[in-house]
Structure 1
Amino acid sequence: MTVLSSPHVPRIARSGVMLVMLAVGLSAFGVGCGDDSDAAVATDGTEPLGIGKEVTVPISASAASVVSPGAEPRAVLRPRYGAGTTQQVTLCTDHRIQQQINDQPVRDFSTPALTIPMTAQAGIDGVDLTIGAVTSPDPSLSKALTAIGGTHAGFDFSDDGAITALRLAPSPDTSNSARAALEQAFYQAVYRSIMFPDEPIGEGAIWTVHQEVDGGVTLDQVTTATLTGIDGDRLTIDLHVVQMPKAEVWALPNDAGILDIEDYTMEGTGTITVDLGLPLPVSGSITVGGHQAYRDPRSASNLQQTITTQVTWTE
Structure 2
Amino acid sequence: MVLAVGLSAFGVGCGDGTEARSESDSTDPLGIGKEVTVPISAAVTTVVSQGAEPRALLRPSYLPGTAQQVTLHTGYSIQQQINDQPSRDFSTPALTIPMTARADGDDVDLTLGTISSPDPSLAKALTAAGGSHAGFDMSELGAITALRLEPSPDTSNAARAALEQAFYQAVYRSIAFPDEPVGEGAVWTVRQEVTGGVALDQVTTATMTEREGDRLTIELEVTQTPKSAVWAMPNNAGTLDIQDYVMQGTGTITVDLGLPLPVSGSITVGGHQAYRDSRSASMLRQTINTQVSWTE
After TM superposition, the score normalised by the length of structure 1 is: 0.88
In the TM superposition, residue 213 of structure 1 has moved relative to its aligned partner by 1.2
Partners of 2:266 and 2:173 in 1: CA distance: 10
Aligned to 1:237: 218
* Equivalent residue for 2:246, pick from 257, 265, 289: 265
Contact persistence 1:157–1:165 (CA under 8 A): yes
Partners of 2:131 and 2:195 in 1: CA distance: 30
Aligned to 2:102: 121
Aligned to 2:125: 144
Aligned to 2:193: 212
* Equivalent residue for 1:178, pick from 146, 153, 159: 159
* Equivalent residue for 1:194, pick from 175, 190, 193: 175
1:82 paired to 2:66: no
1:253 paired to 2:258: no
What's the secondary structure of 1:187's corresponding residue? helix
In the TM superposition, residue 4 of structure 1 has moved relative to its aligned partner by 11
Aligned to 2:15: 10
**Aligned length in residues:** 286
Partners of 2:146 and 2:213 in 1: CA distance: 29
Aligned to 2:272: 291
Partners of 2:138 and 2:243 in 1: CA distance: 36
Aligned to 1:155: 136
* Equivalent residue for 1:131, pick from 76, 101, 112: 112
In the TM superposition, residue 278 of structure 1 has moved relative to its aligned partner by 0.2
1:254-273 Cα shifts (integer Å, max 9, x gaps): 32111000000000000000
Partners of 1:300 and 1:248 in 2: CA distance: 16
Aligned to 2:3: none
Unaligned runs of 5+ in 1: 26-38
Partners of 1:261 and 1:149 in 2: CA distance: 40
Aligned to 1:100: 81
What's the secondary structure of 1:185's corresponding residue? helix
Partners of 1:192 and 1:252 in 2: CA distance: 24
Q: Which stretches of structure 1, 4 residues or more, deviate above 2 A after TM superposition? A: none
In the TM superposition, residue 126 of structure 1 has moved relative to its aligned partner by 1.2
Partners of 1:99 and 1:83 in 2: CA distance: 48
Query: With CA pairs under 8 Å and 6+ residues apart, which has the higher RCO, 1 or 2?
Result: 2
In the TM superposition, residue 171 of structure 1 has moved relative to its aligned partner by 0.8
Contact persistence 1:262–1:295 (CA under 8 A): yes
Aligned to 1:33: none
Decide which structure has greater helix share: 1
Partners of 1:44 and 1:197 in 2: CA distance: 36
Decide which structure has greater strand share: 2
Unaligned runs of 5+ in 2: 1-10
Partners of 1:217 and 1:285 in 2: CA distance: 25
* Equivalent residue for 2:261, pick from 263, 280, 284: 280
Partners of 1:260 and 1:4 in 2: CA distance: 13
1:286-315 Cα shifts (integer Å, max 9, x gaps): 000000100111100001010100010001
Give me the CA root mean square deviation: 1.6
Q: What letter corresponds to residue 163 of structure 2 in structure 1?
A: L
What's the secondary structure of 1:57's corresponding residue? strand
In the TM superposition, residue 44 of structure 1 has moved relative to its aligned partner by 4.2
* Equivalent residue for 1:52, pick from 25, 33, 45: 33
* Equivalent residue for 1:311, pick from 270, 292, 295: 292
Contact persistence 1:192–1:286 (CA under 8 A): no
Contact persistence 1:86–1:122 (CA under 8 A): yes
